[in-house]
Amino acid sequence: MTTSNRTSLQLANQKLAWKLVLVSVFFAGFGFALVPLYDVICRVTGINGRTNSVPDVQSASTQVDLARWVTVEFLSHAMPGVGLEFAPEQFSMRVHPGELVHTNYVVKNATQHVFVGQAVPSLTPAVAAPYFQKIECFCFSQQTLQAGETRTMPVVFVVKPDMDADLRTLTLSYTFFEAPKVPG
């Protein structure tokens, strides 16, 4: 191999290396941008079972549909390693659409440290999310639990009567995440 061939091969390799670095930087940035982009798309379209993230004011004119029942199932998850015991007080209930419903979740900080976290709700099937309105929910704000503390946290919701009658079972799921630590 001649010196000029070797030099041109080295230049080609350097160009390729720079292109690969640029592609890597682009996709790393794109990966970070996906989370907020995904949240915006979910909020706008109502996909992914996202329920309201702020309290909803119940309309006084809402009629309860006593002719229909909807089963609401409750699930809970705590991220592994955070030291929480997290569960609904009841795992399912039958409700009438339009009825104001009260239920509770119980969380215990089983660690010896203060825990600050946020619960993120999800509803399946996702098409029901616009019809499931939370009036009161522990998921609206971060929760600070002292070491060993057990807390009962309320959820007050309404399944809107105009929800498709074919939807008979909804599953409300919460995942508890540790809040990011603020450098201080």
Architecture of the domain spanning 47-178: Sandwich (2.60)
> If DSSP codes are grouped into helix, strand and coil, which group holds residue 41?
helix
Q: Please tell me which of 3-12, 25-34, 138-147 the model is most confident about, judged by mean pLDDT.
A: 138-147
Three-state SS letters, 97-138:
CCCEEEEEEEEEECCCCCEEEEEEEEEECHHHHHHEEEEEEH
pLDDT tens digits for range 97-148: 999 999 999 999 999 999 999 999 999 999 999 999 999 999 899 999 999 9
Q: Is the pLDDT of residue 60 over 50?
A: no
Q: Is the pLDDT of residue 50 over 60?
A: no
Element (H, E) at 92: strand 92-95
Q: Which DSSP category does 13 fall into?
A: H
β-strand pairing of 169-178 with 84-88: unpaired
β-pair partners for 116: 144
Q: Are 123 and 172 spatial neighbours (Cβ–Cβ below 8 Å)? A: yes
> If DSSP codes are grouped into helix, strand and coil, which group holds residue 143?
strand
What amino acid is encoded at 120 in this protein?
V
The length of the chain in residues reads: 184
Q: Are 170 and 128 spatial neighbours (Cβ–Cβ below 8 Å)? A: yes
* Mean pLDDT along residues 80-101: 93
Enumerate the domain spans of the chain.
47-178
